[in-house]
Amino acid sequence: MVRLENLKFGYSGTGFRLRFPEFTLDEDERVAIVGPSGSGKTTLLNLIAGILSPESGLIDVDGVNVAELSDAERRRFRASTIGFVFQDFALLDYLSARQNILYPYRITPALKLDAAARDRAEALAVACGIGDKLDRHPTALSQGEQQRVAICRALVTQPKLILSDEATGNLDPASKERILDLLFAQAAEAGAAVLAVTHDHELLPRFERVLDFAQFHEGVG
C-alpha cells in the first residue's frame, strides 16, 4: 500500500532533516509510529499524503508515484485513497459536525455524495458516540468530540489507507480503545492499511508492527 525508498526531506531554513531509506506498509497491515515530539512523525504522514513533497526519493501509494501527480491529481488521489486524521483535527468552524464529516464529498466531485455516504456518516458518528451532536458546530464540541468528528471524516470515504496522527490523544482510556476498535473495524471492512502515530503505549500491542521514529531524523527544527 505504501512504499518509501531513499526518502529525504528538510524544511527550508531549519536544521531538521528526515531520512527514510526504506519502508513498506502492506495492504491490510496496521503499523504504529512512536517517537519523541519533533522527530518528524507528522512530517512523514504529510509526505505520504502528498501534502509535502520530498527532496528526493520515492513515495508510492497504492501503486501511484505521488510525486509525479499534478496538484489537482494529487488532491483527487488523496481524497479517494487516503483518510487522514490530522493531529489538530483541521475542522471547519462554519460547518456543522455532519458537514465536516461529509466535507471530502464537497471538495471532490469524483466522490459521490449519495444516501449511502450520508448513512455511513451517521453510522460512524453513532459508533463514535457523537450521533446526537451532528448538527453542532466544532466550537460547541469538546476536544474529544472534535477529534471524533475528524475520525469520522477520515473514514467516511472508505479509504484504502488510513493515516492517523495521534487520533486517540484527547480521549479517555475507554474511548481510546473504542476509537481504535472502530478504526480497525473500518480498515478490516474496507481492506485498508493503517499507519497511526500514537503516544498511547498501551495500544501498541494491537498493532502488527511498531516503527520507532527516534532513528530517522537529524538535527533540531
Residues that bind Mg ion (CB under 5 A): 41-42, 87
Range in contact with ligand ADP (rule: CB under 6 A) among 37-45, 123-131, 138-146, 187-195 = 37-45
d(CA 179, CA 98): 18
d(CA 126, CA 132): 8
Q: How far is the CB of 215 from Mg ion (least distance, A)?
A: 17
Alpha carbon separation from 38 to 92, 168, 190 (Å, rounded): 26, 18, 32
Q: How far is the CB of 86 from ligand ADP (least distance, A)?
A: 11
Q: How far is the CB of 196 from ligand ADP (least distance, A)?
A: 12
Per-residue cell: 204: 501498541
Considering beta carbons, is residue 42 or 168 the nearer one to Mg ion? 42
Q: Give the largest Cα separation in the chain, rounded.
A: 50
Considering beta carbons, is residue 156 or 211 the nearer one to ligand ADP? 211
Amino acid letter at 22? E
With residues binned 3-state (H G I as helix, E B as strand, rest as coil), the percentages for the chain, rounded to 5, are 40, 25, 35
- Rule CB under 6 A: choose which of 1, 42, 120, 152 binds ligand ADP: 42
If one asks whether residue 164 binds ligand ADP (CB under 6 A), the answer comes out as no
If one asks whether residue 173 binds ligand ADP (CB under 6 A), the answer comes out as no
d(CA 62, CA 203): 26
Contact characters 16-35, ligand ADP, x per CB under 6 A: x------------------x
Write out the residues near ligand ADP by the rule CB under 6 A: 11, 14, 16, 35, 37-43, 220-221
